[in-house]
Amino acid sequence: MQETKSTCCYCGVGCGVLIGSEGGRITGVRGDPDHPANFGRLCSKGATLHLSAGLEARALHPELRTSRERPRRRVGWDAALAHAAGRFADIIRAHGPDSVAFYLSGQLLTEDYYVFNKLARGLIGTNNIDTNSRLCMSSAATGYKLSLGADAPPACYEDIDHAGCLFIAGSNTAYAHPVLFRRIEAARARNPDLRIVAVDPRRTDTTQCADLHLAIQPGTDVALFHGLLNVLLWEGLCDMAYVYAHTEGFGVLRETVREYTPQRVAGLCGIREADILQAARWFARGPTLSLYCQGLNQSTSGVDKNVALINLHLATGQIGQPGAGPLSLTGQPNAMGGREVGGMANLFSAHRDLANPEHRAEIARLWGVDSVPDQPGRTAVEMFEAVRRGEIRALWIACTNPAQSMPDLNAVHEALRRVEFLVVQDAFRDTETTRFADLLLPATTWGEKQGTVTNSERRISRVRAAVPPPGEARHDWVIAVDFACRLGARLVNGRDAARLFPYAEAESIFDEHRATTVGRDLDIGGLSYAILETRGPQQWPFPAGARTGLQRLYADGVFATPGGRAQFANVVHRPLAESASARYPLHLNTGRLRDQWHGMSRTGTVAQLCNHEEEPWLTLHPDDMARRQLADGDFVRVQSRRGGLVLRVRGANEMQPTHVFLPMHWGGCHMSGAGANVLIAGDCDPLSWQPELKHAAVRVERLDLPWRLALRALLGRFDYASCGLAGREEGVVVLRAAHAWAPAAELLGGIDRILGLDVENAITYRDVRRNVDKRVLLEHGRLAGVRLAGETVAAAWLQQHLVDGEAAEEIRRWALAPLAAPPGGQGGRGRIVCTCQDVAEQEIRAALRQGADLALLQARLRCGTECGSCVPELRRLLAA
């Protein structure tokens, strides 16, 4: 077996991995012990990456449809790209460069981004290039720029080890950045004086480990941060020498925060005044490292929240020093790389300003073109609105799934139906977005690609290929270059595409990119593939002559602003875009789960990642459940002003009354309905254009769906359906559905046919009066398939035996009997808490009842002994 060093393709922690491969196939993965982001650790997602490397879900050859009435058909690359170039050229000729757009992804590599950026701005002449990073980090990027002068996180992961206080705001780090959370746990174990303050409306595995949980009302972060600053001022805890020497704007801000007394803020945020005082004192004692993510960013006041938090660091002089500073946690593996090359509608190459004519002239000169466009392009939400209005006529989507991830999904789907020509370039064939594509281009993915990514702490890592591209898949940048050359030949703007895109390999793109950074805040003029090869991942800046990258920024108190002083941002608390009302009385909060990633196109193919949470549960506070006479497992319709979904509910004390939570991962491929974002409005922050994906006002109504279905295949057509995988070595496809009435017999017949259950030796038992209708297939002494309709109470028991292959005789007897319930009240194993060691919640609870503590659980059941992602949940179960 061969091992190849690369980087995890999920979150912005940017863990190093060693990919095992044999005979051109990926066979294993382990953490890279030498990588400074993770030192060998991986979370449950990273540790199962190799299981996502199968080809079943992949797009393997180009597919084109020439008419919307026909399905796509397989074509060769030549025909595919010639067609795309022809359509783009025709539309640009007739309607101008701004009639086309590119929507990219924080999962592309920096080299991919660079080429697309040059294609849009340098060849076509449009700034209509934006990415899903808009949904993720644009408020953080804008906040850094406003306060500190550049989109550059000043701190680093090592600061966790030096901090005296960790201020975690709007981030369920335990779920979304698990390996970093392991580092937090280790720091806490080493340093009993470390204080952790967590700000989150919800009680999560992250807030469980905090010394102080500030469970604020949604959208009140600015008020909280101003309240803390008010205390710092009142108690003389600001570092005024630092403020006078290195900052501007404090006087005006001081007048503003005067209004944010602890008493008033306690009322606005719904927390205790004493907790505000305590948090402020711990923050001031420091050194304080702030870790923050989508709870701050995905908001119509996302930039305000970011700068208000940075204000606290500036006021206490806690920036650029070991253990101190603001550190936004990047959602995606390379959102930072995209920002570096300027691959967003309102950014420009190497942190240049689109509005600055000198910056535009510099890039035009570096690229060898007469000019680059000066008008800002359309940001993500604006882009899809312009598509819907017919102003953008051709859209190219690469490596992302906006039909699942954008807000106001009904409007986005309408846009995707209306656009004249849609190209989707993706590694996966069946996503919510590929369904709309006129042209589907198969791209390489993790384990197959070469290039670089930048993680949350500005660290650039190599991504390396362990296996060759499968089928006809091509690298993203190769597709973009080929298309650019074909398009250039058809455009009459005098630009020579062959000269603009001369790249033979990813390294030459990286070299051109680094040349554009020289003299900028992110200068990597001294970095090269050779250095990354010999010295490993490096942080930027890394200018020519440097031996190493810079660990922390602004240690000298000189900031990236024109005058070198940081700016206090004078912002005020603003309410949410959508307030709760009599018709929509509940606050919906959306978020991530531990074992899933984004729209599940990759993690949804790994059976063991589906065992922790099998369905998109809507979680309510028990009081709200009781008020609606709901019990765990009941069906509800959750409705916002834009759309609705049918879901199952469960109660949890982690929620505040009137708050509900829904995970964001499930989309139309895995459930009935378009997913959580169908409920969310497209309201955006006015500076970052990041939408308020974390909140909508909703109502929840009980639904009676007495007819149930449980089977092993994918189907739609029901009031409620969720499908996924279960099992481990051998995956089991699971479909749960419910409907107000029993469907026609032909539908069940069709389902049986799809499942291969319409065979003679399948056991059928039907008793209409008792609502029992079961079809069970036993093959080679084990359960091979089952379809239950009407009453499905035995589904979990049968699912378990599909996985373990046992109890065939018992199942046969049950299948032939007039029984719906499983024999002896047996059930399934329930949620799997420890994915690595396959340990279920029931087994953990049983051990806890016998008096086990964490060490005993780990020794007896082995749970939490491998990747550690489940340790916070084990602690929670222990505490409960």
CB of 314 to ligand SF4, least distance (A): 30
- CB-nearer residue toward ligand SF4: 179 or 478: 179
**Closer by beta carbon to ligand SF4, 185 or else 505:** 185
Report the C-alpha gap between 671 and 673 in whole angstroms. Answer: 6
Residue 42 contacts residue 59 (beta carbons within 8 Å): no
- Using CB atoms within 10 Å of the CB of residue 734, give its burial: 0 to 12 exposed, 13 to 18 middle, 19+ buried: buried
Q: Which is nearer to ligand SF4, 607 or 609 (CB)?
A: 609
Evaluate the CA torsion angle 380, 385, 388, 392 in order and state its sign: negative
Provide the minimum distance between the beta carbon of 10 and ligand SF4 in the complex, in angstroms, as a whole number.
3
Q: How far apart are CA 193 and CA 190, in angstroms?
A: 9
Beta bridge partners of 699: 639
3 state SS of 726: strand
Q: Residue 338 carries which side chain, given as an amino acid letter?
A: G
Instruction: Give the helix, strand, coil percentages of the chain, each rounded to 5.
Output: 35, 20, 45
Among candidates 58, 169, 784, 743, which has minimal Cα distance to 434? 58
The two three-digit tokens of residue 487, written as one number: 């398009």
Residue 320 carries which side chain, given as an amino acid letter? Answer: G
Sign of CA dihedral 601, 605, 607, 609: negative
Pull the structure tokens for residue 373: 């466009």
Smallest separation (angstroms) from ligand SF4 to the CB of 11: 3
Q: Which is nearer to ligand SF4, 46 or 106 (CB)?
A: 46
Closer by beta carbon to ligand SF4, 12 or else 541 = 12
> Which tokens sit at 646?
């049918």
Cβ closest to ligand SF4, residue 12 vs residue 790: 12
Cβ-proximal residues to 19 (8 Å cutoff; 6+ apart), any chain: 3, 4, 5, 6, 26, 28, 29, 49, 50, 447, 464, 466
CB of 41 to ligand SF4, least distance (A): 7
Contacts of 802 (CB under 8 A, 6+ apart): 712, 726, 727, 732, 783, 784, 785, 786
Closer residue to ligand SF4 (CB): 153 or 219: 153
Q: How far is the CB of 1 from ligand SF4 (least distance, A)?
A: 21
The residue type found at 525 is: G
Residue 603 C-beta: closest distance to ligand SF4, Å: 10
Q: How far is the CB of 873 from ligand SF4 (least distance, A)?
A: 16
CB-closest chain residue to ligand SF4: 46
Please, which residue, 135 or 625, has the CB nearer to ligand SF4? 135
Q: Shortest approach of ligand SF4 to residue 593 CB, angstroms?
A: 12
Nearer to ligand SF4, 125 or 868 (CB): 868
Residue 626's CB is within 10 A of a number of other CB atoms, namely 12
Rg, Å, the chain Cα set? 27
Q: How far is the CB of 16 from ligand SF4 (least distance, A)?
A: 9
Type of residue found at 710: A
Q: State the DSSP H helix or E strand holding residue 437, giving kind and residue range, or none if neither.
A: none
CB of 623 to ligand SF4, least distance (A): 35
| Helix, strand, or coil (residue 7) | strand
Nearer to ligand SF4, 456 or 516 (CB): 456
- Of 485, 171, 425, the closest CA to residue 309 belongs to 171
Question: Residue 787: CA atoms inside 13 Å, Cβ hemisphere, count?
Answer: 23
- Token code pair at residue 383: 């882009």
Nearer of residues 45 and 118 to ligand SF4, judged by Cβ: 45
**CB of 180: closest distance to ligand SF4 in angstroms?**
7
Site residues, ligand SF4 (CB under 6 A): 8, 10-11, 13-15, 38, 42-43, 45-46, 177-179
Nearest distance, CB of residue 293 and ligand SF4, angstroms: 12
What CA–CA distance (Å, rounded) separates 863 from 835? 8
Residue closer to ligand SF4 (CB basis): 40 or 376: 40
Least distance from ligand SF4 to the Cβ atom of residue 595, Å: 10
- What minimum distance in Å lies between the beta carbon of 338 and ligand SF4? 17
Helix (H) or strand (E) holding 28: strand 25-31
Contact yes or no for 433/439 (Cβ under 8 A): no
- The residue whose two tokens read 């995209």 is 338
CB of 209 to ligand SF4, least distance (A): 17
Angle at 254 between CA 252 and CA 258, to 5 degrees: 125
Task: Please say which residue, 46 or 407, places its beta carbon nearer to ligand SF4.
Answer: 46
Q: How far is CA 481 from CA 111, 112, 343, 495, 644, in A?
A: 11, 9, 16, 14, 42
Considering the complex, state which of residue 46 and residue 373 has its C-beta at the smaller distance from ligand SF4: 46
Residue 82 CA to residue 341 CA, distance in Å, equals 27
Cβ at position 671, least distance to ligand SF4 in Å: 23
Which CB atom, from 46 or from 537, has the smaller least distance to ligand SF4? Answer: 46
Report, in Å, the least distance between residue 8 CB and ligand SF4: 3
Of 425 and 608, the one with the shorter C-beta distance to ligand SF4 is 608
The overall longest dimension of the chain from CA atoms, in Å, is 85
HSE (CB half, 13 Å, CA atoms) of 232? 26
* Other CB atoms within 10 A of residue 693 CB: 25
Beta strand segments in 162-297, E: 165-169, 195-199, 212-214, 247-248, 288-292
Residue among 30 and 637 whose Cβ is closer to ligand SF4: 30
Burial per residue of 39-76, b for 16 or more beta-carbon CB atoms within 10 angstroms, e otherwise: eebbbbbbbbbbbbbeeeebbebbbbeeeeeeebeebe
Amino acid letter at 13?
V
